[in-house]
């Protein structure tokens, strides 16, 4: 679709491999031919023919290395830099054309799928994530994932899912705030900061998918919640949790929350310890 199988890349007289050589040279002041050959895994004779063509077209200069006369340094000329800039611009325009008709969610899914391929094939092992405001469909996902995840991990039943659904239903975008974490274009976590009274906010529904744990998403979501609460002028923020949620409690403690009270309760027939935590925002700003 992007024309890499055509004889000339992006309607140019240069092949994909030749454009890739230009790309590497454009992002370096100069490169030694052996380094360029190793980077692109090219046959020495093939690379030599490419560089000879570029030199004939006035795109590059070649000179002996001052540090080692056995090595040859290659750099783009002004004409070579201009040629690459034009190809780079056309490439961006082509990608923009391909993606321009896709809705935002489909673009995120496409990019995330590409990242997944790279990760599974051994590239890009450092997984990244984005934090964004909720969009249409996210609130339903929040209730669903809380119900499914806590049922699988703790045996909590339908009543807990209904509780979360009521909290989600009370969310007011005009007054409250929320954040969705995405990893590889897929939802991977959430948290909400909701209004309790004029001076107090409440942190609610912190969740991180098992596949995304260990990336620091939980800490980042809590930090976003606290930043928002301070910006809105709240003096205090509270949260409700249970003592079995060890990882979440650790995040709350690190953020400065302190345990206010604890009492016994039940969930789906099992005993749980309900906890209330709070943080003085003015004292920790």
Question: Which residue did the predictor score with more confidence, 222 or 128?
Answer: 222
Q: Where are the beta strands (DSSP E) in the chain?
A: 31-32, 60-64, 72-76, 129-132, 177-183, 186-195, 200-208, 236-242, 258-267, 270-280
Residue 163 main-chain phi, psi, to 5 deg: -60, -45
pLDDT for 109 equals 78
Report the distance separating Cα 274 and Cα 276, nearest Å.
Answer: 7
What local confidence, expressed as pLDDT, does residue 112 receive?
Answer: 75
Q: What is the pLDDT of residue 81?
A: 95
The model's pLDDT over 224-262, given as tens digits with 9 standing for 90+, comes to: 999 999 999 999 999 999 999 999 999 999 999 999 999
Residue pair 222/203 in contact by the 8 Å Cβ criterion: yes
Give the separation between CA 201 and CA 175, rounded to whole angstroms. Answer: 11
Q: Kindly report the CATH number that applies to the domain delimited by 129-284.
A: 3.40.630.30
Checking if the pLDDT of 45 tops 80, the result is: yes
In this structure, the dihedral spanned by the alpha carbons of residues 123, 129, 130 and 135, taken in order and rounded to 10 degrees, is 100
Residues in contact with 6: Cβ distance below 8 Å, sequence separation at least 6, in sequence order: none
Q: What CATH number does the domain located at 9-101 have?
A: 1.10.10.10
Task: Map out the domains of the chain as residue ranges.
Answer: 9-101, 129-284
- pLDDT one-digit tens code per residue, 93-148: 988 888 888 887 788 778 778 877 877 787 655 677 899 999 999 999 999 999 99
Whole-number pLDDT of residue 159: 93
Give the model's pLDDT for residue 71.
85
**pTM (2 d.p.):** 0.62
């Amino acid at each position: 679709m992007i024309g890499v199988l055509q004889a000339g890349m992006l309607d140019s007289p240069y092949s994909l491999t030749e454009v890739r050589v230009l790309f590497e040279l454009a992002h370096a002041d100069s490169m030694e031919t052996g380094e360029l050959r190793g980077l692109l895994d090219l046959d020495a004779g093939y690379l030599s023919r490419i560089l000879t063509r570029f030199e004939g077209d006035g795109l590059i200069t070649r000179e002996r290395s001052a540090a080692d006369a056995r090595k040859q340094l290659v750099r783009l000329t002004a004409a070579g830099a201009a040629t690459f800039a034009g190809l780079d611009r056309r490439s961006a325009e082509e990608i923009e054309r391909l993606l321009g008709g896709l809705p935002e969610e489909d673009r995120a899914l496409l990019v995330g799928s590409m990242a997944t391929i790279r990760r599974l094939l051994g590239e890009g092992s450092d997984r990244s994530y984005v934090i964004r405001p909720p969009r249409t469909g996210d609130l339903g996902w929040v209730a669903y994932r809380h119900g499914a995840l806590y049922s699988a991990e703790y045996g909590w039943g339908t009543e807990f899912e209904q509780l979360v659904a009521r909290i989600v239903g009370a969310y007011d975008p005009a007054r409250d705030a929320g954040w969705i974490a995405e990893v590889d274009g897929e939802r991977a976590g959430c948290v909400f900061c909701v209004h309790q009274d004029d001076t107090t906010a409440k942190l609610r529904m912190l969740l991180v998918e098992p596949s995304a744990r260990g990336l620091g998403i939980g800490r980042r979501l809590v930090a976003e919640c606290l930043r928002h609460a301070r910006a809105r002028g709240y003096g205090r923020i509270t949260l409700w949790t249970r003592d079995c949620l060890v990882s979440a409690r650790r995040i709350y403690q690190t953020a400065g929350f302190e345990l206010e009270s604890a009492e016994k309760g039940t969930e789906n027939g099992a005993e749980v310890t309900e906890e209330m935590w709070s943080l003085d925002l003015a004292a920790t700003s």
